[in-house]
Amino acid sequence: MNRQAQAAVLFLLGASLLHAGTTDLYLRYVKTGLRPLLLLAAAVLITAALATAWYERKRTKEGPKGGGHHHEPRVAWLLILPVLALILVAPPALGSYSATRTGTALQEPLAYPNLPSGDPLPLSLVDYAGRAAYDHGRTLGDRRVRLTGFVALDRAGTPYLVRMALSCCAADAQPVKVGLTGHIPPILQPDTWLEITGTYTARRTADPVNNGPIPFIEVTEAKPVPAPQDPYDESWNN
């Protein structure tokens, strides 16, 4: 792979990052707040590619200096495969398979801000789980809340509503789970996204993977919804 080819690979990688950062594709890889850094990296790579191509063209016009032509191994072209994968194949968001094999990542909140008005009140799944598990529902009371997540079933068939929580990127995503009880749909398919309306219940269980707390919600309504634009929940460490 000569310098011109190296410049082409750099340009393709930069263009791929630019494409991901200017569309919703980047949400499959990193959290929302890292978008500026992704765009910056794209700009640096594209600039480096253009500078490399310009330098190599200038050097070629001036003629070779010193030793003869070097033949780089053809295997170096394999470096372009991850670039093509980034352009052509968007990986699916992590789902029930990962959730049932990974322990809950629920952490005790530092505080419990007052809840706004609304009936039902839309809450992030992580917010509800933290208040239910660690505040024992005191700040929830008998309020009707609305949660959105995907369905996962453990080995015993217990249904969970799940969101994968991010610290940085999809590679470190971990599940936060809320058990479902009450008026549950008779047939639940793993990875189906549901919008749940319900109220706090004191029922809870221990995650069979890491013994972490899994609170429940008393379901009054449930309906399937499309997967959200950003399938990950970043509120757990904000």
pLDDT per residue as tens digits for the range 166-177: 766 666 778 999
Window from 36-45, 113-122, 173-182 with minimum mean pLDDT: 36-45
Backbone angles phi, psi at 192, to 5 degrees: -75, 135
Cα gap 212→205, rounded to integer Å: 8
Cα gap 46→32, rounded to integer Å: 22
Provide the β-strand partners of residue 199: 218
Ranges of each domain in the chain: 3-88, 96-237
Top pLDDT among 219 and 167 is at 219
Tell the CATH topology of 96-237.
OB fold (Dihydrolipoamide Acetyltransferase, E2P) (2.40.50)
User: Is this prediction's pTM over 0.75?
Assistant: no
